[in-house]
Structure 1
């Protein structure tokens, strides 16, 4: 007969209070105090409050005062925060926000999203009792109607908190409904699709719908909101998108900010919140991986030793609950690449040493198991930028900080580097407008004059709008007459339809001619390559995830037949590879492999000129796996000491998928991207590059 599992002992506040009293009375050493605080931190806050009440009845004294009197001064802030009534603290926090509600939209979004439905219900009841007004009535003072609707939708705690298992059919259905809904109401109306999701679905489900919306429409979720809604609502949705994407990232970023500011009280407050709302050991592990730093090294640089020892002990006590990382397909430790039969990871696009060409079969099978109708593994491949919207963004404050940083740049370049690298491009554009409004000057001109030639190109990449910078860069490439430029191919192959259209519009505005027309006029050496570049610049590619298997089979058979012809039809390949959607092309490539037994490039590359074959190779690799494609491009630029293109590419991906690109790079080349960049850059450019490459 097997032994029955031992039941957990029920929590008895009176016993806990008696044990703590005995420890305080009979022992005064450091180890005992750490044990008491760890014991308290392992309780939920209602249990701690009940223990405090029992202690007061038992000892006739307040537990908070007793612990502070018996402990080192550095521990007082931790003890106070640990024994604080969380509901009372939340009510006070909300009260502060509602004093000037129109200035705290982002903070309110984060507050409501980070709390459970039960917690929000309790806070709402207590707020009504203590303030004699409901949260909904307070939100009635919000000026922006769209923001008001959003906050009213998430303050009620109606999110679905049941276990989440992705249902791709429902996700696609809701994404399509969101895409087809009237643009004037889908985000902001109480009857709109977003509001319906907020009241019935989990955070994870809404996150997946947002990602699928981007795939269905071919446009960025926040870009769509920016075009249709107010700046205030955009700011709220940036915060909402950030919070629901990863609770671990939210808390890790808050902790990092406290370390940067040296704010011990705020650090302890967030640490105790982490204890309440998540597994603190998981957050610490995530912090170490995310920032490539040791949490306890950073902690030791900010807090005194007694507090450090207690916080470290609390984390260690939760460590046993953290699942071990395994390099499985579902895990975060899996890096993009090709897994060989012996289990090793190879770089599919890396060139063998001493070889000027690449065996194109190296990477064509990569990721083939995740494409096709249904997209069974699509939700494992979300991407993340290293730069995300700065939550504490205040343009009117920041422009004055810019002025001060520029004045002291000669002796200390770090403030200016931080001010620029910590913000998204959209926030930098806002800064430029406010700077001009307040100082009647152009921010980019003042920055360029300050940094000089050493960082001028880097600053242009950061401060110009992406379409404006890319249009200028492409014009320079075209003026050189080098149609086989690796950078020219990389840009036109990798940009989305929306990005290409924006670049074309900016190009025509600046140079009076469309990009495709200028390519056809200026580049003449290789007609086939020029034709491919012009078609890519026209941005004719179909956008979406729909796959037509019959069309894919037809295209695959036609490609196969080209292998037996004396002169392949260049126009057919150009039109097919530049007009079909990326998903459709992946299905075509997979179908080709099934009945040909080899991949597309291996079969067709010998039929073309070297230059055209190289252009096709890049396009196919980009279609099959963009993250690995960018890792390969970065390595090409590093090998050729091409600093300008390195800066351009890293800045352009910093808000999109640079986290995954870094992981792919390290997996392929056995060195971190930042370490590989170090020999190419002087001190100041490297510090600025570090600010972009390192996760925030």
Structure 2
């Protein structure tokens, strides 16, 4: 009953994920199935996919508790020990609650060899104030480190300033002021023309702090004032990760699922299948808007996300990705 009510609620309110709570859920039985699948020298990967990709995050966490209680073992630890490569990344990634998963991705993006700037962009340009607050808390609890301080030390310039603004999680919510929108649009236009440090700061302050509803008005006014789309203007005037971050914010304001469809397409086609990006987006958006992302992908690129995953992934890694994408509305 809960599952059907949840699915009805998500559809009524426009949340288009692909993973929902499983009906007739029995965490002890699932824990025992996973334990059997992980025993011995090999493991039953089909069972791992069948269980972990068909349970909600809350249910997976309950399974992990049952696994610890019944078997006295840590499920994530066993998954890490028994699995390898990208299949392991998917199965382990599914076991994190969303704030912890974002924290995990940000930590590894900054603490590895070099900084993976596109991971910082994808996460911080798209999360709500509440999600950012929870992510900061999870980051500190998991790593004993301050997210803001790590971003400050690992990035630089106006790219860093914009990330630091976003990670505060202080964007206005629901507020609109048409008169102010015209003023903000003029500031954006001047910032694209003059490109001084002061203008860059004003540009990122508007994009990071105004509500999504207000920014819709600002972008319309910008088009009226300049005769140019705001994304085209940013691309012409700026470059590097600062430019990519600004564009990501604009695209997320306009249509967040379309932004992630674009990022998936780029990760699959422009980088020879950038596994980290594909895994991160599919897991992070699976209970939020992955079904809508799939639809945007098909509309914009002419081929389904399933088709492109099949062309580049293989084995149980492919099965896991496809299972996360599947949902219940369409065939592969």
Question: TM > 0.5 between the two?
Answer: yes
Structure 1 residue 434: Cα displacement: 1.7
Paired with 2:216 and 2:114, the residues of 1 have a C-alpha distance of: 30
Tell me the distance in 1 between the aligned counterparts of 2:136 and 2:53.
27
**1:188 aligned residue:** none
**Who is 1:450 aligned against?**
82
1:686 equivalent in alignment to 2:318: yes
Which ranges of structure 2 fall in alignment gaps of 5 or more residues?
A: none
Q: Which of the two has higher C-alpha Rg?
A: 1
Contact 1:627-1:661 at 8 Å conserved across structures: yes
Partner of 1:396: 28
Partner of 2:214: 584
Aligned counterpart in structure 1 of residue 145 of structure 2, from 505, 513, 531 = 513
**Corresponding residue for residue 75 of structure 1:** none
Q: Does 1:550 align with 2:179?
A: yes
Q: Partners of 1:678 and 1:402 in 2: how far apart? A: 26
Shift of 1:508: 1.8
Structure with greater helix percent: 2
Looking at structure 1, the residues matched to 297 and 41 of structure 2 have their Cα atoms a distance apart, in angstroms, of 33
TM-score, normalised by the number of residues in structure 2: 0.90
CA contact (8 A) 1:448 1:456 kept: yes
3-state secondary structure, aligned to 2:125: helix
What is the TM-score with the length of structure 1 in the denominator?
A: 0.44
Query: Separation in 2 of the partners of 1:599 and 1:541?
Result: 23
The secondary structure found in structure 2 opposite 1:625 is helix
In the alignment, what sits opposite 1:647? Answer: 279
CA spacing shift, 1:609–1:695, aligned 2, 3 Å: closer
Q: Is this contact kept in 2: 1:484–1:529, CA < 8 A?
A: no
Report whether the alignment pairs 1:464 with 2:229: no
Match of 2:288 in 1: 656
Task: Give the structure 1 partner of residue 128 of structure 2.
Answer: 496
- Alignment partner for residue 634 of structure 1, among 245, 261, 264? 264
Secondary structure (helix, strand or coil) at the match of 1:513 reads coil
What whole-Å deviation, never above 9, does each CA across 1:318-360 have from its counterpart, x for those lacking one? xxxxxxxxxxxxxxxxxxxxxxxxxxxxxxxxxxxxxxxxxxx
Residue 6 of structure 2 corresponds to residue 241 of structure 1? yes
> 2:227 matched to which residue of 1?
597
Candidates 622, 645, 668, aligned match of 2:252? 622
* Residue 454 to residue 476, structure 1, CA distance change in 2 (3 Å): closer
Map of 1:575 onto structure 2: 205
Q: Residue 484 of structure 1 contacts residue 611 of structure 1 at CA under 8 Å; is this kept in 2? A: no
| Higher RCO (C-alpha 8 Å, min separation 6) | 2
Assess, with a 3 A threshold, how the Cα gap between structure 1 residues 600 and 429 changes in structure 2: closer, same or farther: same
The alpha carbon displacement at 1:412 in A equals 4.5
SS of residue paired to 2:79: helix
Cα separation, partners in 2 of 1:478 and 1:454, compared to 1, 3 Å: closer
Residue in 2 aligned with 1:30?
A: none
Alignment partner, residue 422 of structure 1:
54
Aligned residue runs from structure 1 range 273-292, under 5 A: none
Post-superposition offset of 1:623: 1.4
CA shift, 1:533, in A, is 1.2
Contact 1:517 1:534 in 2 (8 A): no
Report the CA distance between 1:622 and its aligned residue: 1.6
Q: Secondary structure at the match of 1:490?
A: helix
Offset of 1:597 from its aligned partner? 1.6
1:562 is the counterpart of 2:176: no
Distance 2:44 2:189 in 1: 61
Contact 2:234/2:246 (CA < 8 Å) preserved in 1?
A: no
How many residues get paired? 325
DSSP 3-state at the match of 1:661: helix
User: Which residue number corresponds to residue 163 of structure 2?
Assistant: 533
Q: Distance in 2 between matches of 1:664 and 1:674?
A: 13
Conservation of the 8 A alpha-carbon contact between 1:482 and 1:523: no
Measure how far apart 1:413 and its partner are.
2.6
The whole-number CA distance in structure 1 between the counterparts of 2:84 and 2:233 is: 50
2-structure distance, mates of 1:669, 1:529:
29
1:482 Cα offset (Å): 4.8
> Could you tell me how far 1:565 is from its partner in structure 2?
3.3
Question: In the superposition, relative to structure 1, how do residues 240 and 586 fare at CA in structure 2: closer, same or farther (>3 Å)?
Answer: same
Using the TM superposition, name which of 677-686 and 477-486 deviates more: 477-486
Residue of structure 2 equivalent to 1:221: none
1:483·1:529 contact (CA, 8 Å) conserved in 2? no
Q: Shift of residue 614 of structure 1?
A: 2.3
For 1:685 and 1:550, the matched residues in 2 are separated by 52
CA distance in 2, matches of 1:566, 1:541: 24
